[in-house]
Amino acid sequence: MKSFLRIPVVLGMSLAIFSCKKNDDTSPSTTNNVPDVYKKIYGATSITSDGTYITIKTTGTPDHKSVYYANGNSLYENFSGTTFGGYTFAKNPNSIATQNYTFKIPINPTVSSTHPSTPLGAIGVALNGVPFYNQYAGPNQSLTNEMASFDQYWGHPQQSGGYHYHVEPTYLTSVKASKSSLLGFLLDGYPVYGPEENGASVTNAMLDVYHGHTHATTEYPNGIYHYHITNTDPYINGSGFYGMPGTVTQ
């Protein structure tokens, strides 16, 4: 009789364990209501959604080699020669350090009537979790004096160690994906694509003053406004955000 009474208890325990295992099938880095396109941000530590905003957390450290990593880091790689714009590489005094970014961007981007200017600092996030910066080295200061410090994948760190891209992230366009691929998102929720489209280079003349245009893409077959990275100023974004931007904290 005692043995018979134990059976439902064991079965109950088995069902409970089975139920827990099913719940654990969900990736710890995302929630089920995150659209698949945002799951392409493989460098995030977590991606969640409240139905209005996508919240992306990232350390901002690149997944590729860089001369700006410490010598003992497995991703350190010495670099010399030429970098973006044909400049002879000149290392800046900063080193890559882990950050604590939280990007909160609208899940359904909408056009802004004011097109606010992009700030200095992070204006969006690349698929590898590294921030995008705008076309300035400082308030209305050209990038010219900083270009020589871009590493082999055209990024560099600022004073507190925050690594970032002002221009094309060539690790994404040449190693992880292609020059026509989705590369990330700006804070307004509109996607950023590479410097090629339909097999041809994208020029600034093909884009509006915000550095984008609207039509169908692989990820958005019904069409969407999107930015393109080009090899000339303003590189990623032009005269402000096309849409209403979310926020980024660090």
pLDDT in tens, 63-80: 999 999 999 999 999 999
3-class DSSP assignment, residue 216: coil
Residues 6+ apart with CB under 8 A from 1: none
The pTM of this model reads: 0.88
pLDDT under 50: residue ranges of the chain = 1-28
At residue 29, the pLDDT reads 64
At residue 46, the pLDDT reads 97
Tell me the one-letter amino acid at 176: K
At residue 6, the pLDDT reads 41
- Asked if 75 and 66 count as a contact pair (C-beta separation under 8 A), the reply is yes
CA 164 to CA 155: how far, in whole Å?
Answer: 6
The structure tokens listed for 12 are: 């109950």
Kindly report the number of other CB atoms within 10 A of residue 83's CB atom: 22
For the segment 128-160, what is each residue's pLDDT rounded down to a tens digit? 999 999 999 999 899 999 999 999 999 999 999
